[in-house]
Structure 1
Amino acid sequence: MKLFSYILVITLPLMCSSPSSKNYNYNEGAMDTEVVIEESSSINGLVSVPAEAKPQKIIKTSYLKFETQDLEKSYSAIISAVKTNNGFVQDDNSNKSYNTITRHLVIRIPTSNFQTAIDAISENVSYFDSKRISAKDVTEEFIDLEARLKAKQTLEKRYLELLNKAKNVKEILEIERELSNIREEIEAKQGRLKYLQDKVSLSTINIEFYKLTSEAPVTTSYGTKMWNAVKGGFNGISVFFLGILYVWPLIVIAGIAIFLLRRWIKKSKK
C-alpha cells in the first residue's frame, strides 16, 4: 500500500495537468500491488509538437545510365566531380557480359551539393540512356518519430521512478518487463531517426556506365542507333551472298541435274 501511495503522489500532477496526457491505472490485488501504466493513444498528450514550422527533411536520389568509349576516363571524371563536391564512393562494382563491360557506382553527396554534382558528371556525357532524379519528403515521419521517441523516454523515466519504489519481487519483475519493452521501442525509433537523418544529409547518386566490346561504334544518339541498324541489315545481306558463293559447285551440279532431268522427261513423252 505504501508503493501505491508513492505512485499516486508522483503521477497525480501529471494526470490532472492535461486531459490528453498519459493515463495511469493502478489495480490493487488481494495480496500484492500490481502496477500497470497504460500509454495513451495520443502522443501529443506527453509531448506537444511545436507549432512553428520545422525545416523540411528531403531524401534526394538519382539514377544515371550512359554509354562510353573509355571506362577509365569516365570513371576518373566522375570521381573528380565527387571529390569536388565533398562526396564519396559507397559502392563500386563491375561486370562483363558477352559484348558489354558495365561499371556501377553508388555515390553519397552532401544534399547541398546534390544538383551541382549531377551537373558536373553530366558535362562529360553526350547522351544518357536513362536519367532520373527524385525527392521524397519525410518531414512528417521525422516529426512523428521525434515526438514518439520523447514520449517513450518520458514513460521510461516514470517507470524507473516506480522501480525505485517497488517493495517486492512481483512489482520489480512487472516494471522491468515493461521497461524492457519500452527500451526496445526507443532503440527502434532512434535507429529509424538515424537512418532518415543519414539519407537526408547525404543524397544518393546511382551511376551505371558501360562500354560495348563489339566492333560496332559507340551509340551516342537515337539517330545513330537507327543508322547502325541499317548498316547491320546491309552486312547481313553481304554475309548471305558470301555464303552462296561458298556453295557454288553444288548450285552448278544441281542446275545440270535439273537440265538433264527435264530433257529426259521431254524425250519420254515423245
Structure 2
Amino acid sequence: MKTTYIRLSLVTVLLLGMYSCKKGEANVNDYEASVSADSAAAVSDDISSAATMNVKDKQFIKTAEVNMDVKDVYDATVSIEKTVQELGGFVINSNLRSNIVAEDSYNTSDNEATLIRKYQTENSMQVRVPVSKLGGLLTLINDKKLFLNARIINAEDVTSSIRYAEMEEKRISKTEENISALKTNKDKVKMSNENRAEKNQQQLANLEVTDHLKYSTVDIFIKEPKLRIAEIAVTNTSHIDNKYQFNFIYDVKDAFISGFYLIQRIFVGLITVWPLLIVAGIIFYFFRKRKSIKRIDG
C-alpha cells in the first residue's frame, strides 16, 4: 500500500510541475502560443500539423524522428547543427561515421601503390529545440533531403495527467499537515523523512517534465544513398617484402655463424654427459677384452 502511494505521488509530481508552470507562467504560455501560431504560418504544407499544433487549454509534449538520404552527410550535419543553435536549441549527440564496404590496394610503381576504399557515410543525431521552433526545424531539415525514408512526429496530450497531478498535490499537502499534527516519536520522524525525500523527487521530476514541455527532442538519421570512393596513396608493400625477403651474402654469413654455434652446442652437450661417456667406455673396454680372451681360448 505504501509503495502504491509513493508511485502515485511520483506520477503526480512528474506531471504537476507542468501544471504549476502553466499557472505560474500564464503570460509566458500566451507568448509561446503566439510564437507557435506565427511559426505554424511560416512552416510549409509538407510538415505535419502535429509539429505546430497549439490547442487552447491543452498541453503537449512533442518529439520527432527523421530518417532521410542526403547528398553530403558532413555538410548536412554542419548545417543542421548550425540551424539548431540559431533556433535556440542544442545538440545532445552527433555520431558521424564512415562505414567501409570494400577496399583494395593496387601497385602503381616499385615503391608506390594506391588504396581504393569504398565507403558510405552516415550520422545519427539527437537535438533539442524550443517547442515553438519544432516546425521550423523540420522544414529546414526537409530542405536537405534527397529522399525521405521516414518521419515520425508525436504530440502527446498530457492535460488530463496534469490535472490529476494537481489533485495528488493537494492530497500530499494534506498528508504533510497530518504528519505535522502527530506527536513527535520515531514513527513521525520516519514519515517526515520519507515525505521530504518524496518532495525532493517531485521537484526533480517537475524540472524534467517542464523541460520536455519547453524543448522538443528530435532524433535525426542521415546517410548518403551512394558509395563514395577514396584514393589513398600508400607504399607498395609487395615490393618491399620482395626486396628484403632474401639477402645471399647476409644469409651465408648467418648460416656459417649458426653452424659454428651448433658445433659449440654439441661439444658442450658432450661435456655435460661425460659420466655416461666414461661408463660407456668402460663397458666397451671390458666387452673387447672378454672377446679377446674367448679367441685365445678357442
TM-score category by the smaller chain? 0.5 to 0.7
Q: Where does 1:62-77 land on structure 2 (aligned, <5 Å)?
A: 62-77=64-79
* SS of equivalent residue, structure 1 residue 86: coil
Assess, with a 3 A threshold, how the Cα gap between structure 1 residues 146 and 195 changes in structure 2: closer, same or farther: farther
Corresponding residue for residue 63 of structure 2: 61
Pairwise CA distance, 1:124: 2.0
Shift of the 189–140 alpha-carbon distance from structure 1 to 2, 3 Å rule, reads: farther
In the TM superposition, what is the alpha-carbon distance from 1:192 to its structure 2 partner? 2.9
Q: Hey, what does 1:28 align to over in structure 2?
A: none
1:120 matched to 2:146? no
Which residue does the alignment assign to 1:79? 81
Q: Among residues 194, 213, 217, which one is paired with 1:204 in the alignment?
A: 217
Identify the residue that residue 105 of structure 1 maps to in structure 2: 125
CA contact (8 A) 1:142 1:196 kept: no
Q: What pairs up with 1:1-270 in 2 under 5 angstroms? A: 55-99=57-101, 100-162=120-182, 166=183, 171-211=184-224, 214=227
Change (3 A) 1:190 1:144: farther
How far, CA to CA, are the matches of 1:71 and 1:192 in structure 2?
Answer: 37
CA deviations over 1:118-156 (Å, ceiling 9, x no partner): 111111223211111111111222222233134213322
TM-score by length of structure 1 reads 0.52
- 2 CA distance for matches of 1:148 and 1:155? 10
Instruction: Give the Å deviation of 1:54.
Output: 8.1
Q: Which amino acid aligns with 2:162?
A: F
Alpha-carbon distance in structure 2 between the residues aligned to 1:81 and 1:56: 28
After TM superposition, give the deviation of residue 177 of structure 1 in Å: 1.6
Looking at structure 2, the residues matched to 113 and 75 of structure 1 have their Cα atoms a distance apart, in angstroms, of 18
Note closer, same or farther for the CA distance 1:139–1:201 as it changes in structure 2 (3 Å cut). same
CA distance in 2, matches of 1:178, 1:67: 57
SS in 2 for 1:97: strand
Distance 2:166 2:203 in 1: 9
CA contact (8 A) 2:71 2:145 kept: no
CA distance in 2, matches of 1:140, 1:190: 20
Look up the SS of the partner of 2:71 in the other structure: coil
Partner Cα distance (2:122, 2:199) in 1: 43
Following superposition, the deviation at residue 114 of structure 1 comes to 0.9
Runs of 4 or more off by more than 4 Å in structure 1? none
| 1:110–1:202 contact (8 Å) kept in structure 2 | yes
Identify unmatched segments of 5+ residues in structure 2.
10-18, 24-54, 102-119, 230-298
Measured after TM superposition, the shift of residue 215 of structure 1 is 5.2
Kindly indicate whether the alpha-carbon contact (under 8 Å) linking 2:70 and 2:144 is maintained by their aligned counterparts in 1: no
In the aligned structure 1, how far is the partner of 2:73 from the partner of 2:210?
34
SS of residue matched to 1:98: strand
Give the percent of matched residue pairs that are identical in Structure 1 and Structure 2: 19
Give the SS at the match of 2:154: strand
Distance in 2 between the 1:135 and 1:54 partners? 14
Any idea what SS the aligned residue of 1:186 has?
helix
Q: Residues 59 and 140 (structure 1 numbering): CA distance in 2 closer, same or farther, change over 3 Å? A: same
Residues 85 and 215 of structure 1: is their aligned pair in 2 closer, same or farther, counting only changes over 3 Å? closer
Which is bigger in relative contact order (C-alpha 8 A, separation at least 6)?
2
Computing the radius of gyration from Cα coordinates, the structure with the larger value is 2
Q: Write the distance in 1 (CA, Å) between the matches of 2:98 and 2:163.
A: 45
Aligned length: 161
State the TM-score, normalized to the length of structure 2. Answer: 0.48
RMSD: 3.0
Paired with 1:97 and 1:82, the residues of 2 have a C-alpha distance of 26
